[in-house]
Amino acid sequence: MSEELERLLSPPTAKLQPTPPGPRLRVVAPIADGAPDEGDGESSMAQASATKAMIPDVSPAALRRHDIKHDLLPKQLFAHDVYKSYRKGPVEVPVLRGVSCNVHQGEFLAIVGQSGSGKSTLLHLLGTLDAPDRGEIYYAGHRVDNLPAAGKDRLRNNDFGMIFQFYHLLPELSTLENVLSPLMIAQGALRYWRHRNAHRRRAEALLDMVGLGHRLKHRPRELSGGEMQRAAIARALVTEPRLLLADEPTGNLDQATGREIIRILRDLNHQQNLTIVMVTHDPAVADQADRIVRLANGRIEQ
Amino acid sequence: MYKLLLCWRYLRTRYIALASIISVTLGVWTMIVVNSVMEGFSTEMQNRIHGIISDLVFEGRSLDGIQDAAFHMEQIHKVAGDQIQSMSATVVVPAMLNFQCNGVWMTRQVELIGIDAATQSSVSDFGQYLQHPANREAMSFDLREGGYDLRDHQSGGEAPERKQMGDAGWAHRRETARIRAFQDQYLRKKQQPAAPATTAPPAQASSGGPPSADPFRDPFAGRVQHENVFDSAKQQHTGAVLGIAMTSYRDKTGQDRFLAVPGDDIKLTFPTVGQPPKAVSDNFTIVDYYESKMSEYDTKFVFVPIRKLQELRGMIDPSSGIGHFNAIQIKLKPGVDLNQVRDRLRAEFPPETYGIYTWRDKQGALLAAVQLEKAVLNVLLFLIIAVAGFGILAIFYMIVVEKTRDIGILKSLGASSSGVMGIFLTYGLSLGIVGSGFGMIIGLVFVRYINEIADGLAWVTGQPVFDPSIYYFYKIPAIVVPQTVAWIVLGALSITVAASILPARRAARLHPVEALRYE
C-alpha cells in the first residue's frame, strides 16, 4: 500500500516559509480540470527552490536522518499559555492550567496523558472547536482563538482535518458521501454540483488509498471499526488539509487495526509531509510519533 | 449541498416525523374541501340571488306605487342609459294564496309580483327557472297544453322524475273539470232522488198552475245557460307562476310531491291601493312553476301579469290609463360597475321616494353571514394545522437531541451554525411540502369526487350525507379556487417552518465539543 501511496501522492516538497500555513496535502494525481489549487504548484515549487538555496535540505525526513530537533522547523500551530476549565454544576473544574505547545510544520506530534489530563481539550483548542479561557492559539502566525465563528468554520473545513476516537461518521450517509461531506460543506450546492465528478474521483482515490475502495456505497453501520476509522481519515484528507488532528484514533480499535491506522498516519506524515497532532493514552502508539508531549493535571510534564 | 442531502436522508429515514405531518395533511385536506364546498354553495347562492333580483332595483318606498313606469325608465335612461341593457317594471304586494287539494283549501302567505312577461326574462334569470321549455324560450301567461319538464332541467338530468308534471297543463285541467262535473252531477242526483216523479206529476203541469206556488222551487231553474259562463275545461283564469316549493314538498327519497300542478286554479287575495286598503281577491290558474332553488324565493314568490294586478289593485289612472308600479328592475351591460351606476342614480332621484339598490345590497346580510361563516371556519381549521405545528416542534426537538452528535460532527467539519440551522429549517420545509402536498392532492381528489364519496358514505352509514329533502341542489356544489388552495398550502408551509425554527436554533447553538461528547 505504501507504494500505492507513493504513486498517488505527488512528491513532497519542503516549503519553508515563515508565514504560509504549511504545504497543502496533495493527495490525488488525477485532479480534474476545475479543481482548486491546481495552479499554485509551479509557484510553490519556485518558492521551494528559493528556500532550498538558503537551507539545503530541511524536510522532516532529512531532519530525522540527521537527528536534528524539529524546533528548527517553523511553528505551524502554537498554543500559548492556555487555560481552560469546565463547569460541572456549581464547581469549576480546571482542565488546562497554562499549557504552551508548539506544533511544527511537518512533524508527527503525540500528546499523551492520563484520561482527564486535558489532552483532548488541548486538541479541541488547537482545532478551534473550543476557545480557551485565557491564552492564545496561533495558526500560521495568526491568532485564531478569537476569530469570528465563520473564520473558525473555514479553518476547520479547509486547513484542519480531524479524526476522532468514535470515528464520528454521519450514519445517514454512505462511506463515499461521508468522505465528500467536507467538500459539500465548503461549497455551495451549485458549485459542488459543477465539480461533483472531480470531487467524486478524489474521494474514491482517497478511499482507495486507505483501502476502502470496495466499500463506497456502504453505510457506516455496515463497516468495521477499522474501516470506519479509515473512512474518517479519508474524510479528513478530502479538503487537502495542512494539518491533521487525531483524537485517540486507535482508542476504540484492537491492536492490529490500531497499528494499521497509525501506519497510514505515519505514511501520510513521511511521504506527504503532513503535520499530524495525535492525542493518545497508549504509549505504544505514541512511540510511533516524532515527538511526544506529556500532559498531567493540565500542565505539560517535562 | 450537505443540507439538502441530509434533509433528504432524514426525510427518508425518520418516519416518526412523517407521522407528525399527517395532521398537516389532514388540515390542508379539510380546508381545501370545506373551502371548495362553501365556495360552491355561496357562488351558487349568489348566482341565484343575482339571477332573481337582477343587477339594480329601483323601487318606490310606498306600497301604493309610483305612477308611470315608462316616464321613470326614460329618466333612468337619461342618467345612465349607456350602461343599461334592459329594464322591466314590477308591482310587488304581499298577498294570500289559496289552493285546493283533495277538496281541502290550503293557504300560503306570498309575495305577489306583477311582471311584464315580455321583458322580465331580459332583466333577470326568471325565464330560466320555469318548468316548461317553451316558457323558458318566451314567457307566456297562457296555460300550455302539456310538455312540462319531468326532470329538473337545472340539475343536469340527474334529478328524480317528477311524475305529476307529466299530465300538467290543459290535459290536467280538462280532467279536473270532468271529475268536478261528474261529482256535481252525482251530488245533485243524491240531493234530489227521483224528485220529478213525486212532486211534479204531469197532470199538475198541464193544469198550468202558477209556478210560484211551489216555494222550494229553484228560482234559476228556468234560466237559460249563458254562452259566456266560465267553462273550466276550455278556459283559464289569468295565468300565475308559482314558486315551486309553495305547493310541493320533497320527500326523503328526493322526490318532489306536488299538491297542485299547472292547470289548477288558485285564489289570490291582496290589498288595494288607497286608504284604507281593502282586500280583493280573484281566481288565477297556475301556468308554470318557478324554481330558483333559493327556498326563500321558491316558497314566497307568485308572478302574475302586471296589467291584471294593476287593474285589480286599482293602480291604473282611469283617465289616462297609466299604471302605478312598485319597482323597476335594471339589467346593466356586462362589466359595468354596479355601485357606480347605483350612486349616479341615487344622486338623481330623491331618496325619500326612491330606493335604489344593487342585488348585493338587497341580500347584504345573507352574503355577509356566509362570508363570516367561511372566515370563522377557516380560522378554526387553520388551528388544526397550528396544532400540527406544535407536534412538529416536539418531534423536531427530539430529532435535534437524537442528532446532537451529528451536529457536532458537522460543526467539526466546518459547518456553520447557520448551515446547521438551515438543515433543520429545510427539513421542516420539506416535511411541510410533503404534508401539504399530500393534503392538497387528497383534498383536490376529494372535491372532484365529493358526490361519489357522499353517496358511498350514505350507503355505509345508511344516513344520507347530503339530504336532497333539505337542500335544493341534488349534488354538492364545489368550486376549487386556485388562490385559496395556494394560500392554504402557503399557510401550512409557513406553520411547519415556524415550528422548526426553535429546534433548528437549538441545533445551531450547540457547542461542537459538547455535541461531540454527547452519548
| Spatial contact of B248 and B262, defined as CB atoms under 8 Å apart | no
Within this chain, do residues B483 and B395 fall inside the same structural domain, yes or no? Answer: yes
Which stretch of DSSP H or E encloses residue B67?
strand B66-67
Alpha-carbon torsion (A219, A225, A230, A232), positive or negative: positive
Summarize chain B as % helix, strand, coil (round to 5).
55, 20, 30
In this prediction, residue A26 carries a pLDDT of 55
Q: Is residue B412 part of a domain?
A: yes
Phi and psi at B260, nearest 5°, equal -150, 150
Q: In what order do the strands lie in the sheet with A75-88?
A: A91-104, A75-88, A134-139, A142-143
**Residue B84, pLDDT score:** 86
Residues of A in contact with B416 (CB under 8 A): 149-150, 153
Dist. CA B32–CA B440, nearest whole Å = 7
Å from B12 to nearest chain A CA? 10
**What distance in Å separates residue B509's CA from the closest CA in chain A?**
12
Residues B403 and B288 both lie in one domain: no
In Å, how far is A190's CA from the nearest CA of chain B? 8
Q: Is residue B225 part of a domain?
A: no
Per-residue pLDDT of A254-287, as tens digits, reads 888 888 889 999 988 888 888 999 999 888 888 8
Residue carrying C-alpha cell 504549511:
A22
Nearest-Cα distance to chain A for B514, in Å, is 10
Chain B positions touching A158 (Cβ under 8 A) are 414
Are B317 and B345 in the same domain? yes
User: Tell me, what amino acid is at A124?
Assistant: H
Give the pairing type, strands B279-290 and B265-271: antiparallel
Clarify whether residues B244 and B347 are in a common domain: yes
Nearest CA in chain B to A193: B1
For residue B415, which of A184, A145, A127, A199 has the smallest C-alpha distance? Answer: A184
Exposure string for A49-74, b = 16+ CB within 10 A, e = fewer? eebbeeeeebbbbebeeeeeebeebb
CA-based radius of gyration for chain A: 19
CA–CA separation, B165 and B262 (whole Å): 8
Q: Are B490 and B346 members of one domain?
A: no
How near does any CA of chain B get to the CA of A182, in Å? 6
Is residue B218 one of the residues assigned to a domain? no
The answer to whether residue B356 is domain-embedded is no
Considering chain B, what is the average pLDDT of its residues? 84
Place of cell 454540483: A193
- Please tell me which residue of chain B has the smallest CA distance to A124: B513
Using the beta-carbon criterion (under 8 Å), do B405 and A150 form an inter-chain contact? no
CB contact under 8 A, A188 and B1: yes
3-state secondary structure of B265: strand
**Is B459 contained in some domain?**
yes
Closest chain B residue to the Cα of A86, Cα to Cα: B514
Tell me the per-residue pLDDT of A9-38, one tens digit each, with 9 for 90 and over. Answer: 433 333 333 445 666 665 543 333 433 444
What stretches of B386-467 adopt beta strand conformation (E)? none
In angstroms, the first-to-last Cα distance of chain A is 37
Same domain, B345 and B492: no
Report the pLDDT averaged over residues A148-159: 90
- The shortest CB-CB distance from B2 to any of A150, A164, A181 is to A181
Contacts of B6 in chain A (CB under 8 A): 170, 172-173
Among A150, A168, A172, the residue with its CB nearest the CB of B6 is A172
Residue B390 to residue B382: CA distance in whole angstroms: 13
Instruction: Decide if A129 and B415 are in contact by the 8 Å CB cutoff.
Output: no
B5–A186: do the CB atoms touch at under 8 Å? Answer: no
Contact across the interface for B405 and A164, Cβ inside 8 Å:
no
pLDDT in tens, B44-62: 888 888 888 888 888 888 8
Separation between Cα atoms, residue B85 and residue B81, nearest integer Å: 8
Residues in B lying within 8 Å of A, measured between beta carbons? 1-2, 4-6, 9-10, 13, 405-406, 408-417, 419, 511-513, 516
Measured between beta carbons, the chain B residues lying within 8 angstroms of A173 are 5-6, 9
CA distance B350 to B17: 67
Residues of B in contact with A156 (CB under 8 A): 411-414
Side-chain-side CA neighbours of A65 within 13 Å: the count stands at: 7
B414 and A124: CB-CB below 8 Å? no
Which has the closest alpha carbon to A245: A130, A164, A135, A145? A164
Neighbours of B341 (CB within 10 A): 22
Is A153–B415 a contact, with Cβ atoms under 8 angstroms apart? Answer: yes
pTM for the model stands at: 0.70
Q: What's the Cα-to-Cα distance from B400 to each of A245, B18, B448, B509, B516, rounded to whole Å?
A: 27, 15, 40, 11, 13
Arithmetic mean of pLDDT, A161-187: 90
| Residue B229 cell numbers, joined | 259562463
> Do B41 and B69 lie in a common domain?
no
Q: Identify the pLDDT of residue B163.
A: 81
- Interchain CB contacts (distance < 8 Å): A and B: 74
Cell readout for A16 is 519553508
Which residue numbers of A have CB closer than 8 Å to B's CBs?
Answer: 124, 127, 129-130, 149-150, 153-158, 162, 164, 168-173, 177, 181-182, 184-189, 192-193, 235
For residue A19, the tally of other CB atoms under 10 A from its CB is: 8
**Residue to substitute from A124, A170, A242, interface B, most B β-carbons within 10 A:** A170
Q: Give the pLDDT band of residue A1 (cuts 50, 70, 90).
A: very low
CA nearest A188 in B: which residue? B1
Q: Which residue of B has its CA nearest to A128?
A: B412
Domain count, chain B: 2
The alpha carbon of residue B379 is apart from the nearest alpha carbon of chain A, in Å, by 39
Find the CB nearest B413 among A124, A156, A177: A156
User: How big is chain A, counted in residues?
Assistant: 302
CA distances from B270 to B36, B189, B293, B304 (A): 43, 38, 26, 12
Which of residues B318, B351, B384 is at a domain's end?
B351
Q: Is the peptide bond before B351 cis (omega within 30 degrees of 0)?
A: no
Judgement on whether residues B261 and B410 belong to the same structural domain of the protein? no
Judge whether B169 and B233 are in contact, CB under 8 Å.
no
Residue for grid cell 286554479: B265
Alpha carbons A106 and A22: distance in angstroms, whole number: 8
* Percent over 90 (pLDDT), chain A: 19
Q: Is the CB of residue B141 less than 8 Å from the CB of residue B299?
A: no
- Are residues B176 and B264 in contact, defined by beta-carbon separation less than 8 angstroms? yes
**Contacts with B410 from chain A: Cβ below 8 Å:** 170, 181, 185
d(CA B110, CA B100): 16
CA distance B376 to chain A (A): 43
Question: What is chain B's alpha carbon radius of gyration, rounded to the nearest angstrom?
Answer: 36
Q: How far is A248 from chain B (nearest CA, A)?
A: 13
**B5 to A177: CB separation less than 8 angstroms, yes or no:** yes
Residue pLDDT tens, chain B, 519 long: 678 888 888 878 878 777 878 888 998 999 999 999 888 888 888 888 888 888 888 888 888 888 888 888 888 888 888 888 888 888 989 999 999 888 888 899 999 999 888 888 888 888 888 888 888 888 888 888 888 888 777 766 667 788 888 888 888 888 888 888 888 888 888 887 655 555 544 444 444 445 555 656 666 655 555 556 777 778 888 899 999 888 888 777 777 888 888 888 899 999 998 888 889 999 999 999 888 877 788 888 999 998 889 889 888 888 888 888 888 888 888 888 888 888 888 888 888 888 888 888 888 888 888 889 889 988 998 888 888 888 889 988 988 898 898 899 999 988 889 989 998 899 889 889 999 999 999 999 999 998 888 888 888 888 777 766 566 666 788 889 999 999 999 999 999 999 999 999 999 998 888 888 876
Last-in-domain residue among B351, B381, B414: B351
Terminal CA-CA length for chain B? 27
Give the count of beta carbons closer than 10 Å to the beta carbon of residue B328. Answer: 23
Q: What is the DSSP letter of B323?
A: B
Average pLDDT over residues A197-216: 90
CB A135 within 8 A of CB A79: yes
Class of residue B453 by CB neighbours under 10 A (exposed 0-12, middle 13-18, buried 19+): middle
d(CA A76, CA A64): 18
Phi and psi torsions of B294, nearest 5° = -110, 110
Q: What are phi and psi of B459, to 5 degrees?
A: -70, -40
Residue at grid coordinates 347530503? B466
CB distance B298 to B252 below 8 Å: no
Of A93, A248, A102, A89, the closest CA to residue A163 belongs to A248
- CB count within 10 Å of CB B11 equals 17
| Residue B128 and residue B35 in one domain | no
- Reduced to 3 states (helix: H, G, I; strand: E, B; else coil), residue A44 is helix
- How confident is the model over A40-89, as pLDDT tens digits? 444 444 444 444 334 444 555 555 555 555 566 677 888 989 999 988 88
Do A189 and B10 lie within an 8 Å CB cutoff? no
Q: Same structural domain for residues B344 and B371?
A: no
Residue where a domain terminates, one of B301, B317, B351: B351
Domain residue limits at B435: 2-47+366-517
Question: Could A187 and B9 be called an inter-chain contact, meaning their C-beta atoms sit closer than 8 Å?
Answer: no
Give domain status of residue B332, yes or no: yes
In the chain, the amino acid numbered A29 is: A
Q: How far apart are CA A266 and CA A286, in angstroms?
A: 11
SS (H, E, C) B26-61: HHHHHHHHHHHHHHHHHHHHHHHHHHHHCCEEEEEC
The CA distance from B28 to B47, in Å, is: 28
pLDDT digits (tens, 9 = 90+) for A93-119: 888 998 998 888 888 999 998 888 888
Asked if the structure places residue B56 within a domain, the reply is no
Same domain, B96 and B163: yes
Percentages (nearest 5) of helix, strand, coil residues in chain A: 40, 20, 40
Say yes or no: B339 and B309 in one domain. yes
Q: How far does the CA of residue B363 sit from the closest CA of chain A (Å)?
A: 57
Write out the DSSP string of B500-516. Answer: HHHHHHHHHH--HHHHH
DSSP designation for B484: H
Closest CA to B312 of B460, B93, B502: B93
Domain assignment present for residue B212? The answer is no
